Amino acid sequence: MARLTWVYELMRVLLYILIWAAILFLPNRLLTNEYYHEYLGLTFLLLGGIHLLLVRRYLKALVTLRLRVTALNIVNVMMLTLLVVVIVTGILISLYAVPIVRLRGLTSIYVHATHLCAAVLFYLIVGIHAGFHWRAIWNGILRRLHLQSPACMTRVYNVLGILLIIAGVHAFITTHIYEKILFEHMSFGGVVGTWAYQRDLILIFAACMCCSLFYERLRRRK
């Protein structure tokens, strides 16, 4: 029984690693062409679907409004809503993975812009969502490795978190990724090199995580 539990937990960790890898690389179209981007998106949906299946009880309570209003629940509702928009618009403009509609012309441009906007917002919200769960994830890792985090490390984590937020805000501005949210920029990549843009995307994601981590810490002190 213990071995089955260990295998189950290992599979969950692997699932989350693959989900994180997909979400971190999906926004960087400088690394992939249209074909690979669409199939990477399908892979993410498959992995995300498995995750939602694992948390189906919580999901059912969330959509039926049986949970109290908390920051995490609000974030999760926003995340699911944006995911639906990303999926629907993605299907409408798909050329390879799901070529059902294949919109063309001016309509395709508007749907494309909506897809970009929703995808960027979804990326930011997922970062915030991950931050809410990072404390439990980190404590679980330490527990499995039979390690303890020294009390003095709290200050180190605080400084690191602040630095990551500053770096993430800087990356958010310098990559002009906010222009996708404002429907002002239609390209999939950034204004820097391929891997530099990927670094900036990771910094933006980490900054979102740190914001929710600090929020949770302040909330627990009240």
In this model, does residue 114 exceed pLDDT 90? Answer: yes
Q: What is the pLDDT of residues 140-199, one digit of tens each?
A: 777 777 778 777 788 889 999 999 999 999 999 998 899 999 987 655 544 456 888 899
DSSP letter, residue 67: S
| Distance in angstroms between the alpha carbons of the first and the last residue of the chain | 40
Residue, of 4 and 167, whose pLDDT is higher: 167
**Cβ-proximal residues to 214 (8 Å cutoff; 6+ apart), any chain:** 161
Angle between helix 194-221 and helix 71-93 axes, rounded to 10 deg: 150
Q: What is the pLDDT of residues 23-70, one digit of tens each?
A: 999 988 777 788 889 999 999 999 999 999 999 999 999 988 889 999
Is the pTM higher than 0.85? yes
Rounded to 5 degrees, φ, ψ at 99 are: -80, 65
Find out whether 97 and 177 touch, Cβ atoms under 8 Å.
Answer: no
d(CA 125, CA 204): 11
Q: What is the pLDDT of residues 136-146, one digit of tens each?
A: 888 877 777 77
**Cβ-proximal residues to 39 (8 Å cutoff; 6+ apart), any chain:** 96, 97
Find out whether 80 and 150 touch, Cβ atoms under 8 Å.
Answer: no
Q: What confidence category does residue 222 fall into, taking pLDDT thresholds of 50, 70 and 90?
A: low
Q: What confidence category does residue 125 fall into, taking pLDDT thresholds of 50, 70 and 90?
A: very high
d(CA 112, CA 106): 10
Over residues 65-84, mean pLDDT: 94
Rg (alpha carbons) of the chain, rounded to whole number: 19
Tell me how crowded residue 105 is: count the other CB atoms within 10 A of its CB.
Answer: 7
Tokens 């809503």: give the residue.
81
- Which pLDDT value is given to residue 30? 76
- For the record, the structure tokens of 169 come out as 């805000």
